[in-house]
Structure 1
Amino acid sequence: MTTMRAPSEFYHGCNMRLLRDHLGRDSDAQNYPPMAQIISSLTRAQQLWNEWEIQCLVLVSISLQAFLLLAAGFRKRHRSRVLSGLLWLAYLSADSVAIFVLGRLTLHGGDPRHQLVIFWAPFLLLHLGGQETIAAFSMEDCALWKRHLLNLTTQTSLAVYVVVKQWRGDKLLVAPMVLMFVCGVSKYAERAWDLRRAGSRAPGSSSIAGHVTGARREFEREVFWYYDRLNQVVVEMEELRLRPELVVEIATRGFQLSLDFLMDVVPAKSLRPETDWNEGLVARIRSSENRADYLVYRLAEVHLSLIYDYLYTKFGGLLGVLHRPATLVLTSAALSMFVIAQGISCQNQNGTNDRPAAAPSSSSYYEADVIISYILFVGAVTLEISSIFMWFMSSYWPYMTISSLQRRDKYRALQTMLRLIVRRLRPGSRVEWSGKLPQHNTIDACIRENQAGLVEHMMRRIGIERDYTTQVVVSTELKTVLLGQLLEIATTTSTAGEELDFTRFHGRWARDEASRPSCSSQSEAAAAAADRPAADASTESAGAQEALRISAIQDLDFVSSVILWHLVTDISLLDDESTTDGAITKLRRSSQELSNYIMYLVAKCGVMLGSDGHYAVKVARRDVLLFLGMVVDRTEFIRKVRDGDPDVNLREFPALDRAHRVSSELLKVQARHRWKLIAVVWLEMLCYVAHNCGPGFHAKHLSTGGEFVTHVKILLFILGFPLRGHSKEQLFPSEEIEERKFFKSSHPWRRG
Structure 2
Amino acid sequence: MKILEVAQKLWMKLNLRGMIVMSLSLQVILIFLAPIRKRSSNWWIIMLTWSSYLIADWIADYAFGLLAKAQFYGGTSEPKANALLAFWAPFLLLHLGGPDTITAFALEDNELWLRHLLNLLFQLGAAGYVFYQSLPNNKLIFPTILMFIGGIIKYIERTRALHLASLSKFRGSLLKSPDAGPNYAKLMEECSSKQKANIPAKIEIMPEPDLESLDDLEDKEAKKAASGNREAIDETNSENEDAGKAALGDREAIQKAFFYFTTFKGLLVDLIFSFRERNESKKFFRSIDAKDAFCVIEAELNFFYDVLYTKAAVVHRPVGYLFRAISIGSVITAFAFFYVLNKHGFHEYDIRITYTLLLGAVGLEFVALIMLICSDWTIARLKRFQKDHKGGTFIEFLLKFKSEGSSFALRILHPRWSKSIFQYNLIDSRLERWPKFEKLLDWVSLGELFDDLKFRRPEQCRDELRELIFAELQRKSFAADDTERIKEMCAARGKWALENLKDLLPFVHEVDYGESLLLWHIATELCDNADTDESTNTISDRVNSKVLSNYMLHLMIKQPAMMSAVAGIGQIRFRDTCAELDKFIDENISSESKVNRSTREGSKPKDRKAEVRESLLAVPTGVKPVAVKGDRSKSALFDACILAKKLQEIPNKDKWKIICHVWVELLGYAAIHCRPYNHAQQLSKGGELVTLVWLLMVQLGLSEQFQIVEGHARAKLIVHKNWVSCQVEEG
* Of 153, 157, 179, the match for 2:146: 179
Give the residue type in structure 1 aligned to 2:576. V
Q: Distance in 1 between matches of 2:16 and 2:354?
A: 12
Aligned residue in 2 for 1:477 = 464
Aligned residue type for 2:498: R
Please name the residue that 1:244 is paired with: 250
Q: Matches of 1:274 and 1:69 in 2, distance apart?
A: 37
Equivalent position to 2:573, from 616, 626, 637: 616
The yes-or-no answer on 1:296 pairing with 2:290 is: no
How far apart in 2 are the matches of 1:484 and 1:500?
Answer: 19
CA RMSD in angstroms comes to 3.6
Structure 1 letter corresponding to 2:575: K
Q: Deviation per CA, 1:381-418: give whole Å up to 9, x if none.
A: 1100011112234x3111233247789xxxx8995786
What is the alpha-carbon distance in structure 1 between the residues aligned to residue 673 and residue 483 of structure 2? 22
Give the alignment partner of residue 683 of structure 1, picking from 641, 664, 671: 664
In 2, the alpha carbon distance for the partners of 1:417 and 1:123 equals 38
Matched, 1:593 2:547: yes
In structure 2, what is the equivalent of residue 6 of structure 1?
2
Partner of 1:419: 395
The 1:213/1:502 distance shift into structure 2, 3 A limit, reads farther
| SS of match in other structure, 1:673 | helix
2:271 aligns to what? 266
Change (3 A) 1:572 1:322: farther
Name the CA shift for 1:273/1:198 in 2 (closer, same or farther; >3 Å): closer
For the Cα contact (< 8 Å) 1:643–1:660, is it kept in 2?
no
| Higher Rg of the two aligned structures | 1
Q: 1:159 to 1:414 in 2, by over 3 A?
A: farther
Q: Which amino acid aligns with 1:431?
A: P
Q: Shift of residue 585 of structure 1?
A: 0.9
* Corresponding residue for residue 380 of structure 2: 400
For residues 121-136 of structure 1, the aligned pairs below 5 Å read 121-136=89-104
User: Does 2:518 match 1:563?
Assistant: yes
CA shift digits 1:432-479 (9 cap, x unpaired): 111110001112112222x3553x321122321221231110112211
Is this contact kept in 1: 2:528–2:542, CA < 8 A?
Answer: yes
- From 545, 567, 571, the equivalent of 2:502 is 545
Are the equivalent residues in 1 in contact too, given 2:386–2:392 (CA < 8 A)? no
Aligned to 1:211: 174
**Matched position secondary structure for 1:546:** coil
CA separation of 1:670/1:213 partners in 2, compared to 1, >3 Å: closer, same or farther? Answer: farther
- Residue 189 (structure 1) shift: 0.5
CA drift of 1:236 comes to 12
Letter in 1 for 2:152: V
Contact 1:129 1:189 in 2 (8 A): yes
Q: Any conservation in 2 of the 1:72–1:134 contact (CA below 8 Å)? A: yes
Q: Structure 1 residues 318-327 or 478-487, which shifts more? A: 318-327
Q: 1:102 to 1:413 in 2, by over 3 A?
A: farther
- 1:638 and 2:585 are equivalent in the alignment: no
Q: Does 1:583 align with 2:570?
A: no
Residue of structure 2 equivalent to 1:359: none
Query: Structure 1 pair 214/413, CA: closer, same or farther in 2 (3 Å)?
Result: farther
* Equivalences for residues 27-426 of structure 1 within 5 A: 48-108=10-70, 109-110=73-74, 111-112=77-78, 114-115=81-82, 116-167=84-135, 169-171=137-139, 173-200=140-167, 205=168, 208=171, 211-213=174-176, 238-240=244-246, 242-261=248-267, 263-267=268-272, 270-271=274-275, 284-285=287-288, 292-317=289-314, 318-319=316-317, 320-340=320-340, 342=341, 345=342, 362-393=343-374, 395-403=375-383, 419=395, 422-423=398-399, 425-426=401-402
Residue equivalent to 2:598: none
Q: CA deviation at 1:624?
A: 2.0
Question: How far has the Cα of 1:295 moved from its partner?
Answer: 0.8
1:278–1:648 CA distance, 2 compared to 1 (3 A): closer
- Separation (CA, whole Å) in 1 of partners of 2:481 and 2:17: 74
- What is the DSSP-based 3-state SS (H/G/I as helix, E as strand, rest coil) of the residue aligned with 1:472? strand
Does structure 1 residue 461 correspond to structure 2 residue 443? yes
Q: Give the deviation of 1:68 after TM superposition.
A: 0.6
The answer (yes or no) to whether the contact 2:490–2:702 under 8 Å persists in 1 is no
Calculate the TM-score normalised by the size of structure 1.
0.74
Equivalences for residues 711-722 of structure 1 within 5 A = 711-722=692-703
Q: Which residue of 1 aligns with 2:195?
A: none
Q: Where in structure 2 are there 5+ consecutive unaligned residues? A: 180-207, 218-236, 405-410, 591-607, 713-731
Structure 1 pair 76/207, CA: closer, same or farther in 2 (3 Å)? Answer: closer
CA contact (8 A) 2:556 2:571 kept: no
Q: How many Å separate the matches in 2 of 1:508 and 1:697?
A: 26
Q: CA deviation at 1:661?
A: 1.4
Q: How many Å separate the matches in 2 of 1:327 and 1:273?
A: 39
Give yes or no for contact 2:498–2:505 (8 Å, CA) kept in 1: yes
Contact 2:430–2:578 under 8 Å retained in 1:
yes
1:253, CA displacement in angstroms? 1.9
Question: Are 1:608 and 1:689, in contact at CA under 8 Å, matched by a contact in 2?
Answer: yes
Q: For 2:156 and 2:637, locate their aligned partners in 1 and report how far apart those are by CA, in whole Å.
A: 58
- Residues 638/271 of structure 1: CA separation in 2 closer, same or farther (3 Å cut): farther
The equivalent position to 2:497 in structure 1, one of 491, 510, 518, is: 510
Shift of 1:670: 0.8
Contact preservation (8 Å) 1:248, 1:302: yes
> Is the CA contact (8 Å cut-off) linking 2:419 and 2:689 kept in structure 1?
yes
- Amino acid across the alignment from 1:145: W
Identity among equivalent positions (%) equals: 27
SS in 1 for 2:421: strand
Q: CA separation in 1, counterparts of 2:554 and 2:353?
A: 49
Q: Is the 8 A contact 1:54 1:117 kept in 2?
A: no
The more displaced of 491-500 and 595-604 is 491-500
Separation of aligned partners in 1, 2:246 and 2:281: 22
- Residue 166 of structure 1 deviates from its aligned partner by 3.7
Q: Using the TM superposition, name which of 704-713 and 482-491 deviates more.
A: 482-491
Structure 1 contact 72–133 (Cα < 8 Å) conserved: yes
Whether the 8 Å CA contact 1:139–1:311 is kept in 2: the answer is: yes
The residue identity in structure 2 corresponding to 1:159 is: A
SS of 2:99's equivalent in the other structure is coil
Residues 659-698 of structure 1 aligned to structure 2 (within 5 Å): 659-698=640-679
Distance 2:574 2:540 in 1: 29
Q: What amino acid is aligned across from residue 297 of structure 2 in structure 1? A: A
CA contact (8 A) 2:39 2:415 kept: yes
d(CA) in 2 for partners of 1:315, 1:306 = 9
- Using the TM superposition, give the Cα deviation of residue 159 of structure 1 relative to its aligned residue in structure 2, in angstroms: 0.6
Q: CA deviation at 1:67?
A: 0.8
